[in-house]
Amino acid sequence: MIQSTGRTVIYENPRPHVRSRHGYFPGLAMLPNGEIVCLFALGEAFESADSRTWVTRSLDAGETWTLEAPVCVGASNDYLKPTTLADGSLLAIGYRFHREDPEVGIAIPETGGIVGGDDIVTRSADGGRTWETPRVIRRPCPELIELSGPAVELKGGDLIAIGALYKTPDGSSPSGQIGVSLRSTDGGVSWADGGRYFTTPGANVAPYESRLCEMQAGRLVALSWAYDTSRDQHLPNHVTVSHDEGRTWSSPLNTGTWGQASNLAWLGGDRLLTIHAHRGEDPGLFVRIVDFAGDRWRVLEETQIYGTAVAQTRAGQSMPEMFKSLRFGQPSLLQIGDGDFLAVHWCIEDGQGKIRAHRLRAQ
């Protein structure tokens, strides 16, 4: 039911002996003409102040790639993911950090907080070759929203984006550990508070790296890396479900899958294709076909597509410590044909941050 039919490198530093350039955090979108655009962060280190989102493009269904240019003009420590809209334009949404001191990382060890920033959105009318000046999204909370995944254009026409809340620079969480959704009814020009897609009353569980897909019209599934912030403890991936276009959501459901960053795509009917970055005794990237009938998680098949020779993470690590030891992650899926998908992720190989893609067939 799942076949791996090929793999390629989307980005690797062509001259690592000349300068340090690492790729992280990729996202894919297919244009109406069949071109595939990958947005990813390119910088000299994992938390470097010069990291910014670049465009690379494939004209042959993901076999070869050409690096083009940054999305944002000027210096901007930004991280954006693309979505192809129904009108053929590209929308990129994400966030940028305020790097007032380039010698200070994103995570602040002294407080456990994260440097401040803005949630931003931009559009391209020419397939990602030029972009509008990014607009700052007005947030419904004081914390920066971790919009680490693409917005989803629903069958009904609205756009939805979801994310957990970063801690403020002083280490506090004024809004608590919740998942926030943003909704646009005008193609991404303006955004409003769309509600809370993930809440755990009486607990402090954050839904990091959340990804969203729409199954049948109005039926949305959000898959999250669940992290207990009060105990610095990782939990299995959790899902929440909406049957009214994201206006109300179920309680979080424990999938039993010990993954961190993850992603999902609809296969039709009640089936999902999911991808998970595993930790523990058998680390790597795993792809699964899931029967989600009745909003219940039942794995039908799984396969590993990226190896086990990677660094493991300890269950008791804080988030700043985690950033120092990550060696692969943020996988995503793009359907490129009938049953054909590209799975993309970043990884550290030979000391270099690379963007890899795997061609999959799922039936």
The two tokens of residue 54 are: 């670049």
Please choose, from the candidates 101, 107, 93, the residue with its C-alpha nearest in 3D space to the C-alpha of residue 136.
93
The two tokens of residue 138 are: 């007005």
CB count, 10 Å around CB of 2? 18
For the whole model, what pTM was predicted? 0.93
3-class SS of residue 105: coil
CB 70 within 8 A of CB 54: yes
Domains of the chain: 2-362 (2.120.10.10)
* Dist CA 91 CA 79 (whole Å): 13
* DSSP β-bridge partners for residue 273: 265, 289
**Residue 317, CA atoms < 13 Å, CB-side half-sphere:** 15
* Dist CA 89 CA 268 (whole Å): 25
Cα 285 from chain centroid?
14
Question: What does the pLDDT profile of the chain (363 residues) look like in tens digits?
Answer: 899 999 999 999 999 999 999 999 999 999 999 999 999 999 999 999 999 999 999 999 999 999 999 999 888 899 999 999 999 999 999 999 999 899 989 999 899 899 999 999 999 999 999 999 999 999 999 999 999 999 999 999 999 999 999 999 999 999 999 999 999 999 999 999 999 999 998 888 999 999 999 999 999 999 999 999 888 899 999 999 999 999 999 999 999 999 999 999 999 999 999 999 987 667 889 999 999 999 999 999 999 999 754 334 444 555 555 445 558 999 999 999 999 999 999 999 989 999 999 999 998
Radius of gyration of the chain (CA): 19
Distances (CA, A) of 343 to 16, 22, 305, 336: 25, 19, 9, 10
**pLDDT at residue number 308:** 57
* Dist CA 138 CA 140 (whole Å): 7
Distances (CA, A) of 63 to 66, 246, 257: 11, 36, 31
DSSP string across 265-309: EEEETTEEEEEEEE-TTS-EEEEEEEE-GGG--EEEEEEEEE-S-
CB count, 10 Å around CB of 32? 11
